Structure 1
């Protein structure tokens, strides 16, 4: 590869940079993980809906919240936050089940 010098025209430097980015294995690997994590995000939204419904009916029939559902809901909210941070490039740490453990249930 040739090194760009300050005398190179901007278009030439930009094209060289684009070419490097397109050949970057890490960029394509990140895309793969983003697709998988995006699928996990979709699944987590369905699970959140189930937790909401279960907690509502629990309160409806017992008059109090279910502690296990509260903790699971909190850990699910934290997990969703981790997913969004990864998908928006705010972190390089991939959420569970890749780099991070499942988040704790307390805020």
Structure 2
């Protein structure tokens, strides 16, 4: 690769824009990890006191894990799909 091509690559707006999105999604992954811990803890307490799983927590936990998977695919360049908040929240 010659110097001119390298300079054009560094000036490529789409590369920098993706980098910005990646920083946003890295921050959101930290938030989702915290939320996952809260959901896990709350589900444990619900089961401990009621002996039944909370269906709303099950569904939210599943969609949260799908979201985390979508973010990881985007961050590792395995997908061009931008997850929530740029795209829709996963249904499952």
Question: Is TM (by shorter chain) over 0.5?
Answer: yes
Q: Identify the residue that residue 88 of structure 2 maps to in structure 1.
A: 101
How far the C-alpha of 1:47 sits from its partner, in A, is 0.2
Aligned residue in 1 for 2:34: 46
Counterpart of 2:17 in structure 1 is 29
1:18 Cα offset (Å)? 1.7
Q: What residue ranges of structure 2 are gaps of 5+ in the alignment? A: none
Normalising by structure 2, we get a TM-score of: 0.95
Take 2:79 and 2:48, find their aligned partners in 1: how far apart are those partners? 40
Question: Following TM superposition, by how much is the alpha carbon of 1:93 offset from its aligned partner in structure 2, in angstroms?
Answer: 1.1
Residue segments in structure 1 that go unaligned for 5+ positions in a row: 1-12
Q: Provide the C-alpha distance between the structure 1 equivalents of 2:18 and 2:59, rounded to a whole number of angstroms.
A: 31
SS in 1 for 2:77: coil
Q: 1:67: which partner in 2?
A: 55
Structure number with higher helix proportion: 2
Q: TM-score, normalised by structure 1?
A: 0.82
Q: 1:83 aligns with which of 71, 75, 81?
A: 71
Higher Cα Rg, which structure = 1
* Deviation of the 1:14 alpha carbon: 3.5
In structure 2, C-alpha distance between the alignment counterparts of 1:14 and 1:57, rounded to whole Å: 61
